[in-house]
Structure 1
Amino acid sequence: MFTSGHMTRDVEPEIYILVDHIPIHSAPCECGSCEQQFIRKELQNKTLYMYEAVVPAVDAKSLLSRYTTQINTDRAYLADRCDRFGDTILSRWRKKSYNKRETLILQADSTIEKEAWFRLRIDGVGMLWQDVRKQHRNQWLLPYMSTEIMKSNPSVLLGLIYNRVRYSPEEWAPFDSDLIREGFSSGQLGLEYCGHYGVLMHGVEYGKLVPWNKEAAERWDIIGYPRARLIVEAQALMFSRLRSIVDLILDRVNTLDSMRASDKWQQTMRAGSKQSGRVELWSDYINQPFSRPPQFDVDYYCSVAKARMQAAEDHLWLLQTDLSYTRRFIKLMAVGEAYTTGWKHELIAQDMHLCMEEYMLWQELNEAWSCVRDHYRRFRDNIYPGQPLPHRLEPNLALLELALLRNMEKRVRHLSAHVPQRPGFQHLYKITMNTDETGLSRGRIDRACQTPTNVLYYADPLDWIVGQLRCHPDEEHRFDHAELFARPEAHLAEANAEERGRFDETIYEKMSSFAALHEMLSAVRLHRPAFNFRDEKGLHDLLKLNSTAFTRRLVPDGAPIRAYPFPSKYLKIFDQTAPASGKKTEEWLERRTAERRALGTFWNQARETLRLELQSKLAIGERAPKPKTRPSEPVNHQASIVEPLTSKEVLKSQIPTTTRALDLVKKMYPITAGEATANVDWDLFVHSMADLNFNARNVGGSAVAFDHAASGRKIIFHRPHPVSKIDSVMLQSMGKRLSKHFGWNRDIFVEA
C-alpha cells in the first residue's frame, strides 16, 4: 500500500489587488447551485473577480435578443446549406491539405486560436489576467475551436457543423455552460451584472431574460445572467464562425441551384467519427464538442457499468484459472524498481486485491445505475424542462452522484500510488518501503524534485497530465477532465517510441476506468432538470432515509481503514515454479499440477481474507426481526440461477463469416502450435470483429466497447499499448471471455 500527495493546479499569487469601498453586488441566492451563476460576495473586493459592468435589464434583454436572433438565423442558414450541399462540403473539406484547411479557417475568422489546448497551456504563458481578458475572450468562450485541431482531422469540423445544426442550442446549453465554467470561476472572463435576473435556457423563449426564480435556478432551467450571457454569446460566436467557414468551403458553388445532394453527408455523419489513425469510433465524451450533445441515456450507462463489471469479473476469473494469463499479469506488474525488492510478491498480491476492488466498484455502480434506470422508466413521462424532477427519482440521482464521487476518490488514491511505480515515471519519485505493525508492506512516495506545474506542462506533458487528473472533480481551480483525457492521446500520437512507452498497459487501463467514472459523473451533473444540490449534512440525511445495502456502503463511519492484504506466500511459490512446457509427459503433468496447487492455495487464502474484509465493512447494527411473509426460497429458485451461456443456446447453427474473421477465431481457439503462439494486429482484430457483427467504439483510455448488434450486449477489450499487437495469451483470454458471454467456440464459424 502506498501513500502519495497529488499535484494541483498552480494559482498565481499576484493575480489580483484588494480594493476597498467598492459596491458588492449580491446574488439572489447563495445555495450551492446558485452561487455557480454569480460571483460570490467575498470575492468581489478583488480586482480579478469584480464585475466589469452593471447593465440595466433593458440593455441585457436587447443584447440577448440579438444573440438569439443571430443563433437562429445562422443555424437555419447552415441547415439549408448542409441539406442542399452536404455532399460537396464533405468532399471538398476532406480533399483539402492541412495547410489549405488552416488558411480557410483563418480567412473565416482571424481570431481563431492556432494552437490547440488553450486552456491547458495558458497558465504557462505568463500573461497578466487583464491581458488574457482582452486578447483571449473568444478562446475562453470556444476553447475547442483551434486551427490545429480542426485541420488535423476532417471529422472534427464536419462533426461540429453536423451536430450543432442537428441539435438545438437548448440541447447544447448544459454542455456549453460546463465548458465556460473554468473561465467563469477563475476570473479570466469579464462578467456583467444585471441584478436579480436569470435567462431561460429551454423552450421557444430560449435566451429570454426573466425574473429570478430560486426553484428554476436550482434545476438550471434558468441561469443567472452573468453566466448565461457567456453561454449565449459563445453559441452566437460559434455559429457565426461556422457560417463563414461553410461559405468559404462552398466558394464558387451555384447556391441558386435547386438540386439537393446530401445523402452521403447524412450517411457519413450518422455512421460516427474516428480519431486519425484509429479504426474504432471515437469516444463522444472525450470529443464532445464534435459529437452529439451529452444525453442522459440511462440504458447506455447501465450497459457500460455492466460491461465493465463483467470485464473486471472476467479478469479475476482468468487470474484464478488461466496459468499463462496469471504469469503474464505478474510479469506486466513486476517491472518497476519497487518490485525488485523483497516485497515483490506482497506488492503483486496487493495489485490482485485492487483487481477485486475494481470489480466491487463496478458492481456497486451497476447496482446504482440499475436503480436509477428503474425509476427513470417509471417516471419517464414526467421528466422534462421547466418542471421539478419526480420526488422518487431525484434522491436516486443524488445518491448515484455520491457513489461516483466516493469511487473517484478511491481511484485518485490508486492512480497516485500506481503511476510513480511504473518505469516511465519512477525516476520522478522517491519510494521508501517499510513494514507496519501488522506486517503489511507500506511505501511512501515523494517527488524527487518539485517543478512548478506551469513549467511542467512544456517540460514533461505526461507527468503534468497525470498530476492534473488526480484533482478532485469539485476542486475549484481544476481543468476540464475530458480535455485532460484527450491530451495524452494527441501527445502520444506525435511522440517517439520511448515517450509512448511511458504510458504502459497498466496506466492506460486505470485511466480508462477513471475516464468512465468522469463520463458518468458528467452525465449525471448535466441532467436537466438538475437535481437539488446537497451539502454533507443533506447527503447524510438522504442516506439515512434511503438505507439499503448499497447506500450504507457510502456512509463513512469515521473508523480507521483496516488493510486486509492477500497472503503472498503461495503466490511466490507459483511465480518461482517453472511453468510446464514442451510435450505432455509425466514430468509436464507434475509441473502443471504444482502450478495449479500453488495458485489455487493462494486464491483460497485470498478468498478467506476477503470474507473477513467484507464482514468488517458490511457489519451493521442489529434490527428487530422481521416476520417472514415469503417462503425461504423464491419460487422457481433453480430457474433463477444464471448458467454460463453455451454455443447451442446463443448460436443455434454455424455462422458464415469472412476469411479474416475465421482466421481470428482459429487463433483465439488454437489447435496447432502455430495458432497457439500467433499475435494479431489490433486494427485487424477490430475489422474482424466488425465482420462478426460487432461495432467498436472507444470508451476512454485504452478501453474499447464492442457492441453486438444482434443481442444488444457489449464486451470491453483494451487496445494494446504502446505496440498495437495483441499477444497470444491475451488473444486466447479474449476467446474465453467471448465463449463465456456469447457462446463462441472454434466450430460454430465457417468461411462464407
Structure 2
Amino acid sequence: MHQQSRHLQAVIPQRRGFSHFWEHGQIKNGEITARRKANKDITKVFYEDPLDWGLLQLQGAPDEPRRYDHAMLFNFLDDHLSKCTAADRARLDQIIFQKLSDYAAIHELLVSVRMHRPLNTNRELDDVLENESHRKQWRRQLVEPHRSHMSELDEREMTAALEEFQDAVMPIKSRYRVVMDKRGLSASEAEEDLEILSLYNSQEHLRALDVEREYIVASIAEAEQSAQNSLPLRIQQNSDEHQKGPKQENKAIKVKAKTRGKEPESVQPVSEATEGQIPLAPPEEPSTKVVVKASTFSVLCTMFPAQNEEATKTTDWNTFVQAMQDTGFSARNGGGSAVVFERVGESSEGGKIIFHKPHPVAKIDPIMSRSMGKRMSKWFRWRRELFSLEPQK
C-alpha cells in the first residue's frame, strides 16, 4: 500500500489531465521535484474538482489516522466517474487506471488479512475516565496531568526538588510514601511501588551478595594456592651446608621416591617433565553427586561442554526447563520472556535465578548454554563433576 501510494504521487503530476496543477523543479541527483502551484483549501478542491480531490486523498500514508478509508474513496471515484462528463473521465488515462486497479487489488488483500487478525476498539476519552478512574495510573494522570512543555517555574521547582533530594537525610522510601499519600494512593498501592526501592534490603539480595562474596574470596584463595604450588621446590639446607658457598644455597633438586620407610609429607615425587616443581593438586571431587536423567545430563553437558560435539549443540527451551526441575528448581513466569527458577526442597539453601526464554524460536544456542552454565557455577557452584548419569534399568 505504501509503495502504490508513492507511485501515485509520482505518476499523477506527470499525466496530462493533472499536470497543470503542478510545477516541476530542476533535475537534481536524477530526481525531479513537483509541488502544487496553488495552496488551495482542500474543501474547495472537493467542490471544484472532485476527481482531483479523490486522487489526492489516495496519496500519502494509508494508515494515517486522519485519512479517509480507501474503500470509501474508491466508491466515491466510481460514483463520480459514472456521473461526470466525458471530458472529465478522459483525464484518467490508461496509466492512471492501471495504477488505481493495482492499488484497489492490494487494498482488498490488506482487508482480507486484517479480517483474520484481532482489532482494537477505539474508546472515547470520557468513557475511559468514567469507567477506568479507579485504576492507579489514571488517578496519577488526573492528579498530575502530563505537561508537554516545561516552563521556567517547572524548571525552578525541579531544581529545588533535586537540591532537596541531594541534602535529604530522610529515607527515600519515606519521602516517596508521603508523595503517594498526597496523590491519594492507598497503603497497598504505595507498597507495590516501594517494592523496587526495597530491593537493597531484601533477603534475596542480601543472600545473593553473600554468595558473590564467598565466590570472590574462594577465587582469591584458589589463585593464591595455585601460585604457591607452581613455585620451584626448595630444600632447606642445614647451617653447615649454608657455609660452603652460595652455589649450594636454594638448590632445586629432583626428589626420588623411597622404596622403604615413610615418605615425607612435604615432599612429593615428580616426573622428568615437571622436574623441580610440585604438580597442582587435582580438583576436589564433590562429596555427593546429583543423579539425573539422560535428557537432563545432555542439557548439563551443553552448559559445561568437555567435547566439541557438546559445545555446538542447541537445546530446546522446554527440555532446559525440565532439566532445571529435575535438578531441584521450580519454574514460574516472571513477566514477559523472563522465567524465574527457584531452588526448592528440604535440603536446599534457597535462592533463585532468572533466565529469559529465547524468541522467536525457543532454542538455546551453544553460546547461551555456556553463559547459563557460568551463571549457575557462580551462584550455585554447579560444575560438570557434580552430576552423574542415572544408571539404566
Identify the structure with bigger relative contact order (alpha carbons < 8 Å, sequence gap 6+): 1
Larger Rg: 2
Query: TM bucket by the smaller chain?
Result: 0.3 to 0.5
TM-score, normalization: structure 2? 0.33
User: Normalized per residue, which structure has more helix?
Assistant: 1
